[in-house]
Amino acid sequence: MPPCSASVRTSHERHARRLGGANQRVRVLIGRLALALALSTAVAGHAQELEPRAYSASPAGTNFAIVSYAHASGDVLFDPSLEVTDAQARIDTLMAGYVRTFGLLGRSASLGALLPYVQGSLSGALSGAPTRVYRSGFGDARLRLALNMLGGPALTPEEFATREATTTLGASLSVVAPTGQYGSSRLINIGSNRWAFKPELGLSHPIGNWFVEATAGVWLFTDNTDFFGGNTRSQDPLAAYQLHAGYTFRPGLWIAADATYYTGGETSVNGTGRQDLQENSRYGLTLSIPFNARWSAKLAWATGLTTRIGGNFQTAFLALQYRWFDAAPGR
């Protein structure tokens, strides 16, 4: 009898170890999934945008070539039940873009394109075990069409130079296309393998040399039907609001205080929610400096004010912009 009891006990111990190992693998997979979703959200960074003067008017036929660099680093916060602790991200993004203004139905309009290259790393502890992830590659391309519906008629450069600043109301549609680096065999990717759309309204009001602006929009996402392991990843709409107040020293030279609040955007895999509803806010400063009639720079800094779930980052941003006008007929 004793040998039989010892054999049964040994069998039970092996079974418990197998169960414990399986449970540990499940916890690690859930933690890695949480880290993957956090990194993809951080790389995309859609809601964390703080962009003053997004609806400021320019003469029709103006072209802008833009090169920019952004650095973001900080903590990533999760639901405590996921057993992910001490998560931190560091993301560097180099972007190249082009914007052109034109007249549409007698109103000032613009169309812009942006292509990012991203290097991102995320580290954290999964059930006490250190984990680190690094990715680099091209991110998802972005297009934006904007139209000033009130206070922004299409003007030539000569007409624009003598205009008086007025209240403007604009609308825009941003589209993020699934062009970024992506592989369904990898849990963590730079690209999101889905489309994203953001309709938005923006209001700008001048008060002497001062200006105040407010925008309201919502990100809408299609499903990623080729998520890791043949799964489907979905995301709820993500509402985003911005408020800016600034002072213009002279044309092209201005400073603005910025704030944003975004809420929603819970993700799910195969219909199972990940308990990552966002309800976060950020604030920062933006400075625009003209060098001459063609060249200018923009510097920005921002940090988190309140963070429920997601990235609580400090960000630094530098952009160089070159501007030129279409040649007038006969020149």
* Tens digits of residue pLDDT in 25-71: 544 544 555 555 555 555 455 555 778 889 888 899 999 999 999 99
Beta-sheet strands, E only, within 41-184 = 62-77, 84-104, 107-126, 129-138, 142-150, 168-176
Of 7-11, 76-80, 154-158, 242-246, the poorest mean pLDDT is in 7-11
Going from the C-alpha of 246 to that of each of 119, 207, 241, 256, 295, the distances in angstroms are 32, 10, 17, 4, 21
Q: In whole angstroms, what is the distance from residue 137 CA to residue 148 CA? A: 35
Tell me the pLDDT band of 1, cut-offs 50, 70 and 90: very low
In this prediction, residues 118-145 reach a mean pLDDT of: 83
Tell me the pLDDT band of 170, cut-offs 50, 70 and 90: very high
Rounded to two decimals, the pTM is 0.84
Predicted local confidence at residue 301, as pLDDT: 96
Percentage of residues in the chain with pLDDT exceeding 90? Answer: 51
Which domains are assigned to the chain? 2-325 (2.40.128.130)
Going from the C-alpha of 187 to that of each of 54, 73, 120, 231, the distances in angstroms are 35, 21, 14, 11
Residues 6+ apart with CB under 8 A from 65: 97, 98, 321, 322
Tokens standing for residue 27: 């916890």
Predicted local confidence at residue 88, as pLDDT: 81
- Say yes or no to pLDDT of 23 above 60: no
